[in-house]
Amino acid sequence: MSFGRRRPIRIGLSARIFHPELGASGIRTKTLQVLEQSVAQWVTARDVMVLMIPSVVQDGMLMRSNIRLRDYAEYLDGLLLQGGADVSPKAYGEEPLKPEWSGDPVRDAYEVELLHEFMEAKKPVLGVCRGMQLINVAMGGSLYQDLPTQRPGPVAHESSDYDRNIHPIAFAEGSQLARWYGGAAGGRVISIHHQAVNRLGRDLVVEARAGDDEVIEAVRWQGRSFVYGVQWHPEFHYPSIPDLLDCSAILDAFLTAARS
């Protein structure tokens, strides 16, 4: 029997959802719910237990149990919304400008419910890339469906370099980011996205923007609990890539809120 060991923090990770593919066979005919390994490893670098929260649709083949997403919010200490598919423009009252920008309404509904349950439970939430966009939309904001065509600028927010696509960001004056980083002006981040925040959601404030084109790169909720979103991918800030923003301060702030 072990005495005196502190219980590890339990962080819920939203699922990335892959839907059945038309004309496919085998496992590709099934709905797959997965997590991206590097984001889980980034969080578990601390004394943290990560559990992926599954989505079960009401009209699915399996009967949904009495366990609700609210029960996960009560049991877990925090929520991390990971990246992935576009947020559907229909979630913020627009039609997709192209079919390939239709997003995933199923995942949107699941993650919006998750977000609101954790906020209601006053549990901390951290959104990464799509996760930040989802927070903005859930709070009544909107997105640029495609930055290159709707808001062209000098920064390549998405490129074939994928997890080596680097650009500078500038912290907002008086932001939590500036405090976490001892008054620093900004840093360099790995950013992979073609959508971005357009109209800011209710009670959200801008924490950082892209250094050369002012695209919003971090937001913070001004409400009763920790709700924070970053447009970049802290899990891709490998030690082998020099001069990147050390995102441990963001993770530590999130986990401190979860621990309390």
Residue tagged active-site, from 111, 117, 207, 235:
235
* Model confidence pLDDT, tens digit, residues 83-129: 999 999 999 999 999 999 999 999 999 999 999 999 999 999 999 99
The answer as to whether 3 is a domain residue is no
Residue tagged active-site, from 157, 167, 193, 233:
233
C-alpha to C-alpha distances, 141 to 111, 135, 227, nearest whole angstrom: 15, 9, 15
Residues 143 and 195 sit within 8 Å (Cβ to Cβ): yes
Mean pLDDT of 11-28: 91
* Model confidence pLDDT, tens digit, residues 174-228: 999 999 999 899 999 999 989 999 999 999 999 999 988 899 999 999 999 999 9
Treating both helix axes as pointing N-terminal to C-terminal, what angle do 130-138 and 105-120 enclose, rounded to 10 degrees? 70
The answer as to whether 4 is a domain residue is no
pLDDT at 31: 85
DSSP secondary structure string, 3-65? -SPPPPEEEEEEPEEEPPPTT--GGGGS-EEE--HHHHHHHTTSSEEEEEE----TTSSSPP-
Q: Which residue has the higher pLDDT, 33 or 12?
A: 12
The answer as to whether 34 is a domain residue is yes
The answer as to whether 80 is a domain residue is yes
pLDDT at 47: 83
The answer as to whether 2 is a domain residue is no
Nearest in space to 187 (alpha carbons), one of 133, 250, 134: 250
Looking at the 3D structure of the chain, how many domains does it have?
1
Active site residue 111: no
pLDDT at 66: 66
The answer as to whether 199 is a domain residue is yes
DSSP-derived secondary structure letter, 242: T
Q: Read off the pLDDT band of 1 (50, 70, 90).
A: very low
* 126-150 per-residue burial string, b: 16 or more CB within 10 A, e: under 16: bbbbbbbbbbbbbbebbbbbbbeee
The answer as to whether 1 is a domain residue is no
pTM above 0.85, yes or no: yes
Active site residue 95: no
Nearest in space to 125 (alpha carbons), one of 70, 245, 117, 33: 117
Report the share of the chain in percent with pLDDT over 70: 93
pLDDT at 105: 93
Residue ranges making up the domain that contains 221: 9-259
Residue tagged active-site, from 111, 117, 129, 207:
129
Active site residue 120: no
The answer as to whether 100 is a domain residue is yes
Residue 137 has pLDDT above 70, yes or no: yes
CATH number of the domain at 57, please: 3.40.50.880
